[in-house]
Chains A and B, each alone.
Chain A
Amino acid sequence: MSSDKLLSVENLAVEFDTYGGTVQAVRDVSFAVDAGETLAVVGESGCGKSVTVQSVMGLIPMPPGRITSGTAKLRGRNILGNPIVGGEDIRGAEIGMIFQDPMTSLNPTMNIGDQIAETLEVHRGFTAKQAFNRAVELLEMVRIPEAAKRAKQYPFEFSGGMLQRAMIATAIACEPAVLIADEPTTALDVTIQAQILDLMNDLKRDTNMAIILITHDLGVVARMADEVAVMYAGQIVEKGAVDDVFYRSAHPYTLGLRAAMPVNDREAEHRLTPIDGSPPDLFHPPKGCGYCARCPAAMKVCNDVVPPEFAMSDTTDHFSRCFLQHPESSAVRLDGLYRKEVSA
């Protein structure tokens, strides 16, 4: 079913050899995204969300990294395991990427126009002049005023928001089918974040590209996503349409994340409910469910067996990797898990 989607990743597993041992950063991750769709990947630092998309991009240095299993198909063609040198027909051309920190991701010794133009020279065989002219058009497209003048400036002359626009211009230069955005607005102020998110939505509408958006901000997810994948300890623990994941959350971790955030409702006088503890050590991933040690509803089975994907309905592809969704599990009410205490 997912194989006819634009980009589908199946059973991806990635390890890294480090001095401390082997880290199993991504453990059996599958997802798919179609043209014109936005998939948000949410999770805490260290949950494997960046490694997942970097593997798809072919940006994992090997060694120390190692893709131990899985496929990533773009229009049916496997692109996983493309080497860093030689993978350029996909990376930058078919899949564009925006990185988190615009200040450190651009070359400080090259002007902005040349950095965008480089993509076009490498992938499209443009001459330097054609490429630079196109770069100016792209800067206009991402709404940088006085684009012709700005293209000759260097990164230090740009603000953080402008640099992020320049990076988006670079990423979309070759009209990629998929745009991967790794925490594109985390380093930016809310006002600038709103501008960048609007820009990404407009570009998606105009070019019908697919967007994979990595973020830890549930507000950004709510604003942008069609589909949401919640990651924890290297696995997708819940995935589905944005409304299913937000309004019919089926995994204790998803509920925990929501209970840990303030609600913008002046009547709701609640105390934030933190998730106690910290994520497991992926040098020695737990035998069972990764969230088990922090889960208020953990059962004996959770300790020993990795929960499979339990489908939440027959009509949607909403699933949860939680034994509470097992048909024979005793009916635990998930919404009471993180009861919001009324403050005194």
Chain B
Amino acid sequence: MTPLVSIEHLVKYFDIGRDQRVHAVDDVSLTIYEGEIVGLVGESGSGKSTLGKTILGLHDKTSGTVKYGDEALPQHYRAADFQKYAARMQMIFQDPYSSLNPRMTVAEIIGEGLRLHSNANSTEIRERVAEWLRRVGLQPDHMSRYPHEFSGGQRQRIGIARALILEPEFVVCDEPISALDVSVQAQVVNLLDSIKKELGLTLLFIAHDLSMVRYVSDRMAVMYLGSLVEVGPANPVFFEPAHPYTQILTSSNPEPDPESERHRASTSITGEIPSPVNIPAGCRFADRCPKVMPQCRQETPKLKPLNGDADRQVACFLYD
């Protein structure tokens, strides 16, 4: 497997004045290989979206590097950098209502990337837009309509067509299905899956629906308060979670099966994700962890291979 995106010690802090900083992404290292789907899960406020946006240069990096193939991406993107990388790396946004410009037609929204990043003339652009509308399951004659004329699922398809029309290699999907109804979620997931196979895409799939992430992803990464606590192939991480946080996430996830729900022990974890402003020393999960040890409050655990298996990494002293 060839690494496509290599993230090393990536840090993103936001200054909020009075010498305080939000530790949104704190020392994250993750390698995404060509052709795979990596699912990124965690509670809201854990830094998933910030990580996705920082990889693509939508936020400046505070420190650390992101390499695309062998090429290091700039610390701070300038207009020319977006010009250079946008055709290869794209993003699908969470909210199909606020991420499409209401004053642009569908043809303008989807065709804008081609207009900026290719030499195609307007006839060619229209043809490509029509082709992509068909590919995402809309009609070419929808081209001259405005976003408000579409349902949520249709808008998300427009967002997908906009991101994919440049045939990028790497796409960050930031909660692409959370705003959609169950029956439409399946439509969008299947669409992403078939386009991924056709174009050989590599995806970072951010979501909080664990069952869906397990279904979609090859590998799963679990994030808590700015750092990764567990990384590994999707099935083992979901079915045999190692980190106490992952265990709590998977056991809080209700299954559509009354029989197994009746036998579920009450698993709820007390407390909520703390503020990422003043992060205490030691493991970030220590205050909520049911298996906390004295060591956890003094040292910060690092991601290490679990039982010598390099594919499966966990940041927890229980496995030292």
Residues of A within 8 A of B (CB): 44-45, 159-162, 189-195, 197-198, 216-223, 225, 242-243, 246-247, 256-262, 264, 266, 271-276, 278
How big is the B interface, by class?
35 or more
Could you list 25 examples of A-B contacts with CB < 8 Å? A190-B208, A190-B253, A191-B43, A191-B249, A191-B272, A195-B270, A217-B254, A218-B256, A220-B254, A223-B264, A243-B259, A256-B183, A259-B186, A260-B182, A260-B183, A260-B185, A264-B238, A264-B255, A266-B235, A266-B238, A271-B193, A274-B183, A274-B187, A274-B190, A275-B183
On whether A262 and B212 interact (CB within 8 A), knowing A190-B253, A192-B272, A278-B153, the answer reads: yes
A45 to B97, CA, bound (A): 15
Residues of A within 8 A of B239 (CB): 266
Across the interface, do A44 and B181 meet the contact criterion of CB distance under 8 Å? yes
On whether A222 and B208 interact (CB within 8 A), knowing A191-B249, A194-B268, the answer reads: no
If A243-B258, A278-B151 are given as contacts, then 20 extra A-B residue pairs at C-beta distance below 8 Å, sorted by A number, are: A159-B272, A189-B44, A191-B43, A198-B266, A218-B182, A218-B256, A219-B254, A222-B255, A222-B260, A222-B261, A243-B259, A247-B258, A260-B182, A260-B183, A262-B214, A264-B238, A266-B238, A271-B193, A272-B215, A274-B184
On whether A246 and B258 interact (CB within 8 A), knowing A194-B268, A274-B184, the answer reads: yes
A221 to B261, CA, bound (A): 10
Which 5 residue pairs spanning A and B have beta carbons closest together?
A: A219-B254, A262-B215, A274-B186, A218-B256, A275-B183
On whether A272 and B253 interact (CB within 8 A), knowing A191-B268, A198-B268, the answer reads: no
> Which chain A residue lies CB-closest to B256?
A218
Residue B116 CB within 8 A of the other chain: no
Residues of A within 8 A of B198 (CB): none
Partner of B249, one of A190, A259, A262: A190
Across the interface, do A223 and B182 meet the contact criterion of CB distance under 8 Å? no
On whether A45 and B181 interact (CB within 8 A), knowing A218-B256, A222-B254, A222-B257, the answer reads: yes
Partner of A264, one of B184, B208, B211: B211
Across the interface, do B181 and A216 meet the contact criterion of CB distance under 8 Å? yes
Q: How far is the CB of A162 from chain B (nearest CB, A)?
A: 8
In terms of DSSP, what is the predominant structure of the interface of chain A? helix
Q: How far is the CB of A64 from chain B (nearest CB, A)?
A: 21
A160 to B43, CA, bound (A): 12
A160 to B181, CA, bound (A): 22
Q: How far is the CB of B237 from chain A (nearest CB, A)?
A: 11
Residues of A within 8 A of B43 (CB): 189-192
Partner of A189, one of B189, B208, B215, B238: B208
A161 to B267, CA, bound (A): 16
On whether A264 and B182 interact (CB within 8 A), knowing A194-B268, A246-B257, A272-B189, the answer reads: no
A162 to B208, CA, bound (A): 19
Q: In B261-275, which residues have CB < 8 Å from any A CB?
A: 261, 264, 266-270, 272-273
Residues of A within 8 A of B257 (CB): 222, 246
> Which chain A residue lies CB-closest to B239?
A266
A189 to B271, CA, bound (A): 12
Q: How far is the CB of A50 from chain B (nearest CB, A)?
A: 14
Residue B106 CB within 8 A of the other chain: no
A190 to B268, CA, bound (A): 9
Residues of A within 8 A of B189 (CB): 272
A221 to B272, CA, bound (A): 24
Residues of A within 8 A of B270 (CB): 195
Residues of B within 8 A of A162 (CB): 272
A273 to B183, CA, bound (A): 8
A275 to B181, CA, bound (A): 11
> Which chain B residue lies CB-closest to A241?
B258
Across the interface, do A258 and B252 meet the contact criterion of CB distance under 8 Å? no
Residues of A within 8 A of B314 (CB): none
A278 to B153, CA, bound (A): 9
Q: Name, among A190, A192, A246, the residue most crowded by chain B CB atoms within 10 Å (CB to CB).
A: A190
